Amino acid sequence: MDRLQRGAILIALADALRRQGSWCGETHLQKATYFLQHLMEVPLEYDFILYKHGPFSFDLRDELTALQSDQLLELRPQPIPYGPSLLPTAASVEFRERYPRTLGTHQRSVDFVARKLGDKGVSELERLATALYVTRQMTDADAEARARRINELKPHVSLDEARQAVASVDRLKEEAASLS
């Protein structure tokens, strides 16, 4: 997948998240892209590390900056104290139409992720994305071991919250598998 094909998917994701009521700040886009890449297996090839608020990709941040330079995404400040949203521009509508094959292949995955995550705030997205990250790292571990690992990595996430996040991710994995 080349840069512009990835761009078309990111713009479609931002648009779908927004339609689901997402705040669509950078953190929302980072976590949703992580799910798109690692739950839905869309081959975006971003390198994610566990960072502030869970999995984070510096490459993806660079790509979001490049899409602003390309006049396809724009930063929209929100009232204090909330962070800015990153939204598709009017020009991006026509741009997306130029990638029918890429979006034809992946739009269903984009819509699924947006439907499942669009109404979530940053705290919940952090818990869910970290749960997916830990699940991918500890492939043979049971739910309790994964929840304990989340609590260890992110002490502000309580063990109960971590257990709920692991259960949600396991359900999401089943639903995603049934889509394909």
Partner 1 sequence: MAKQLHEIRDPIHVFVRLDTDERKVLDSRPFQRLRHIHQLALSYLVYPAATHRRFEHSLGVMELAGRVFDVVTHKDAVREEVRRALPEIANEDALRYWRRVLRMAALCHDMGHLPFSHAAEKELLPSDWNHERLTREIILSDEMKIIWESMTPPVRPLDVVKLAVGPREAKDLTFSTWEDILAEIIVGNSFGVDRMDYLLRDSHHAGVAYGKFDHFRLIDTLRILPTAPSGPDQPPPEPALGVEDGGIHSAEALLLARYFMYSQVYFHPIRRIYDIHLKDFLSAWLLGAKFATDLEKHLRTTDNEVSAALWEAAHDPTKPGHADAQRIVGHQHFKVLYQRRPDDVAKNPEAGQVVFEAAKSEFGTENVRHDRYTQKGSAHIFPVLTKDERIAYSVQVSETLQRLPVVDVDYVFVHPERLGDAERWLRARHDSLIQRTGEAI
Site residues (vs partner 1, CB under 8 A): 3-5, 7, 23, 25-28, 47, 49-53, 58, 61-62, 64-66, 68-72, 75, 77-84, 91, 97-102, 121-124, 126, 154, 156
Closer to partner 1 by CB, 121 or 173: give it: 121
Q: Give the C-alpha distances (Å, rounded to integers) separating 177 from 12, 13, 20, 130, 171.
A: 22, 20, 22, 20, 10
From the list 176, 162, 46, the residue with the least C-alpha distance to 116 is 176
Unique residue bearing structure tokens 């919940």:
124
Query: What amino acid occupies position 96?
Result: R
Closer to partner 1 by CB, 152 or 175: give it: 152
Closer to partner 1 by CB, 62 or 144: give it: 62
Q: How far is CA 136 from the centre of its chain?
A: 15
Q: How far is the CB of 87 from partner 1 (least distance, A)?
A: 13
Token digits of residue 53: 């608020």
Closer to partner 1 by CB, 26 or 177: give it: 26
Q: How far is the CB of 41 from partner 1 (least distance, A)?
A: 21
Distant-in-sequence, close-in-space partners of 9: CB < 8 Å, separation ≥ 6? 36, 42, 44, 102, 103, 106, 110
Q: How far is the CB of 94 from partner 1 (least distance, A)?
A: 8
Q: How far is the CB of 43 from partner 1 (least distance, A)?
A: 16
Closer to partner 1 by CB, 33 or 102: give it: 102
Token digits of residue 180: 């394909």
Q: How far is the CB of 65 from partner 1 (least distance, A)?
A: 6
